[in-house]
Structure 1
Amino acid sequence: MSDALPGPLRQYADRHGLDSASLQAALDWQVLFWSGEQQAADRERWRRWLNADAEHRQAWDAVARMAGTLGTLSPQVARRTLERPSSVGRRRALGALAAVGVGSMLMLAGARGGFWQKAMADYRCARGEQQRFRLEDGSSLILNTASAVSVDFGQDRRRISLAPESEVALDTRSSTLKKAGPLSLALPAALLNVQGAWLTARDLGHGAGTVGVLAGGAQLVTAYPRQAAVTLNAGQQVHFDPDGLSVTPLSRQRALAWTRGVLQADRWRLADFLDELSRYRDGLLYCDDEVADLIVSGAYPLKDTDYVLESLARALPVAIHYRTPWLVRVAAV
Structure 2
Amino acid sequence: MSDALPGSLRQYADRHGLDVASLQAALDWQVLFWSGEQQAADQERWRHWLNANADHRHAWEAVARMAGTLGTLSPQVAHRTLKQPAAVSRRRVLGALAVAGLGSMLMFAGTGGGLWQRAMADYRCARGEQQRVRLEDGSSLILNTASAVSVDFGNSRRRITLAPESEIALDTRPSALDDTGPLALALPAALLSVQNTWLTARDLGQGAGTVGVLAGRAQLVTAYPRQAAVTLNAGQQAHFDRDGLSVTPLSRQRALAWTRGVLQADRWRLADFLDELSRYRDGVLYCDDEVADLIVSGAYPLKDTDYVLESLARALPVAIHYRTPWLVRVGAV
TM-score (norm 1): 0.82
Range that drifts further, 151-160 or 210-219: 151-160
The SS at the match of 1:321 is strand
- Residue of structure 1 in register with 2:211 after alignment: 211
- Residue in 2 aligned with 1:322? 322
AA matched with 2:298? G
Q: 1:217-273 CA deviation, whole Å, 9 max, x = no partner?
A: 000000001100010000000000011010000000000000000000011111111
Q: Which residue of 2 aligns with 1:92?
A: 95
Shift of 1:30: 4.3
Q: Does 2:172 align with 1:172?
A: yes
Match of 1:312 in 2: 312
Q: 1:178 and 1:244, CA in 2 relative to 1: closer, same or farther beyond 3 A?
A: farther
- Contact 2:31/2:93 (8 A) holds in 1: no
Residue 99 (structure 1) shift: 8.8
Q: Which amino acid aligns with 1:73?
A: A
Aligned to 1:73: 78
Q: 1:98 to 1:222 in 2, by over 3 A?
A: closer
Q: Describe the SS at the equivalent of 1:129.
A: coil
Aligned Cα RMSD in Å? 3.4
Letter in 2 for 1:182: P
In 2, distance between residues paired with 1:137 and 1:296? 41
Distance 1:145 1:94, change over 3 A: closer
The 3 A distance-change label for structure 1 pair 11 and 248 is closer
Aligned-residue offset at 1:83: 5.0
SS of corresponding position for 1:149: strand
- Cα distance change on mapping 1:211 and 1:160 into 2, 3 Å: same
Q: Counterpart of 2:273 in 1: which secondary structure?
A: helix
User: Which residue in 2 is equivalent to 1:277?
Assistant: 277
How big is the shift at 1:8?
A: 5.3
2:9 alignment partner in structure 1: 5
Residue aligning to 2:266: 266
Q: Which amino acid aligns with 2:321?
A: H
Question: Residue type matched to 1:312 in 2?
Answer: L
Q: CA separation of 1:226/1:82 partners in 2, compared to 1, >3 Å: closer, same or farther?
A: farther
Runs of 5+ consecutive residues of structure 1 not aligned to the other structure: none
SS of the residue aligned with 1:313?
helix
Residues 117 and 81 of structure 1: CA distance in aligned 2, closer, same or farther (over 3 Å): farther
Question: In the aligned structure 2, how far is the partner of 1:281 from the partner of 1:244?
Answer: 31
**How far apart are the structure 1 equivalents of 2:107 and 2:180?**
40
Counterpart-to-counterpart distance in 2, 1:311 and 1:221: 41
* Alpha carbons of structure 1 residues 60 and 144: separation in structure 2 relative to 1, 3 Å: closer
CA deviation vs aligned residue, 1:132-151 (integer Å, no higher than 9, x gap)? 11111111111101111111
Range moving further from structure 2, 191-200 or 3-12: 3-12
> 2:94 is aligned with what amino acid?
R
